Structure 1
Amino acid sequence: MKNYHISKHPSFFAVGLSYKKAEAEVRGKFSLDVPKIDSIILDAQKQGVEGLLTISTCNRTELFGFAQQPFQLIKLLCDHTQGSIEEFQEVAYVYKNHDAINHLFKVGTGLDSQILGDFEIISQIKQSFSRSKKHGMSNPFLERLCNSVIQASKRIKNETELSTGATSVAFASVKYILHNISDISSKNILLFGTGKIGRNTCENLIKHTNNKHITLINRTKEKAEAIAGKFQLLVKDYGDLQTEIRKTDILVVATGAQLPTISKSLLHTKKPLLILDLSVPKNVADNVLELDNVTLVHLDQLSQITDENLNKRKEYIPKAYDIIEEVKLDFIKWLESRKFAPVINALKAKLMTMKEEELDFHSKKLQDFNQEQAELVSERIIQKITKQVANHLRKSDADTDDSLALIQEVFQLELNSK
């Protein structure tokens, strides 16, 4: 069975961009839908990439995988999106080996989220791993790593208050509405798009506004009806979008389109209209701002809203990092045992054979030879030697592949193929 581990050739990389340096417009160029993710995975397979995890949300796009160079992964991303390598390099980050592992833990536990404590990313990681596994692009390393990140996420939710209160972009949008619109229960609200953010926004609107005038529109009407049925809301056909916008006071856009679905030409209302665009890439064209009665807010602006809840959540960041370190330590131990164990075990067996040969030789040569004491002393020496070797291999600055190869060559070790 092939060993998957962090090694010089290939290395484990994380390449990507996020809200921290990339504006929504740039993130939109690199966003990935499911067909694009599948195409990247299949293309990576052909190029000999060993294991790949692809994450694309409204605030980040990232590839995690084994490659000779990070450029292999960067090129894969650029080949399958509208973004160029030059644009990527301006806002991108690249992490290698243990730094890449650390980054995935931060992302998966909500510590790197646009809104601190937003744990919705963990479902994305689960789905991404499932897609990789489906296409034969997972491996024991990625599976164990994803499971460890999921475990850390669960523990942080259960053992801290990092996610106290609602923390998502969907909730931030509702909070913005509550703070900026008076008499909210009497306003007409139109939700266009019923993906995950759309569904969550819908749920938060009902929970926090006590509004009975919410209409849903989706390109696929059945999806809107499924959500509307749950909350007893009104559903309209996609063809009615322009007419419904005329009636509405608040338009929430949460579609997954690659190009704007709402533009100035669709808006023919004279009353004040608040538009919240929760989509990446942006699904509302900037030309709507040419209309005096329209206010447009994008999710990047919403995510900057801070409150008492957020400040309280910040207190639990150190505890969250402690949990990550605990879970990560277990993962690293597993990784080391998977990588070093065959060589360490073979070395120990070789030394034991040498010991047996020497003891047998000296027992025949020496008249008063103490077999029991010799066994005890030699076994302690073997333990110390194997411990020293293991400690050397665990050093982060050691070239473990070269060291493992040298040990095998010097002691002429035969490793168990299993």
Structure 2
Amino acid sequence: MLHLNMKYMMFLLLSILITACSSSDNTIDEEVSPPDLEPMFYKGMDLSFQSELENYNVTYRDTNGTPVDLLNFVTSKGTNLIRLKLWHTSHNGENTLSDVKAYATRIKNAGSSFLLDFHYSDFWADPGTQTPPAAWQNMTQEELRTAIYSYTKDVVTQLKNQNTLPEIIQIGNETDSGFLWNHGKVWDAFSNNWGNYAALVREAIRAVREVDTDGNVKIMLHHSNVEESTYFFNELAPFGIDFDIIGLSYYPQYQTKDLNLVANALNMLAITFGKDILLVEVAYPFTLQWDDNQTNYIGSLNQTIPEFSPTPEGQKAYLEWLISIIKNIPDHRGIGFCYWAPDWVTFPNNDISVSGGSAWENQCLFDFDHKVLPALDVFNNN
């Protein structure tokens, strides 16, 4: 009897020990749960000129003057998002789907995220010019909705099939006044046309969502002006558009130079609409000089921000300030920036197909000798 009791007691003791160990393990599992991952902060560049500039064997150099492969160099220095524009049927043979597909493969191989910018035009689209592709002109509203859906779905499908699905897709470029005029125009005599614009945008987004079955692609709508964008998104709000990111351009030569006003406008957008915000087009000069005979977009001191001189140091300080205000947008809604055309340098024997030179060389991230400027350090340090 005593022998049996001893066995029973040993069994009870063993059970208690097993239970205690199990409880302890459970407690440890709960306490050592992995921390939340920090959201991606995009430090991007629009390299849409690269497929063209590479035809001219333009050489970019590091701080020592050593030639570098541009894409691999900038990604090694912290760039983690590359933006490419897409024209439907290009006027000059550039920014075609074949160009985008080829460069997208290189972007992914370089370990960067990819942002696709649909212009829905055969050439540049911006607030003053939103010309439909020639193939879509003279269509009815219903035909145009079918066209934008089919075209968008075909492009995104081709990118998915080659394993280069973009992380972000932009539906139209600087669409302050709508796009695909006049069917999608929301400006001047068409200020009551928001329903038609929204219907076209909705069809493009539906196409993306149907291809992106895993829900990995973020949809961005793009406005050209930080200060004036609230009106645009207020007008669009009643239509319940399914998008994720407010994309904005900020060029001080065209917009406010008041730093507090910029910060306040960004903060108010985030609070009002509850969307992530990406400064998808930004730039700043490192000099007011020029390196060719092409008139530059910015060439006088009154076009710059007083706090940031048009010098290499001022350009770097501008980017540091920009990153600071984006990171301080409420609720972590500021997700990054994209520097526009950091590579659009001038070079010997510029061909007319590159605008007869560059109107941007003094806002690049490479100097007139094509050596990288200090501003690129900001990409690595944030």
Normalization by structure 2: what TM-score? Answer: 0.28
Higher Cα radius of gyration: 1
Compare the two structures and name the one with the higher helix fraction: 1
Name which structure has the greater RCO, CA cutoff 8 Å, separation 6+. 2
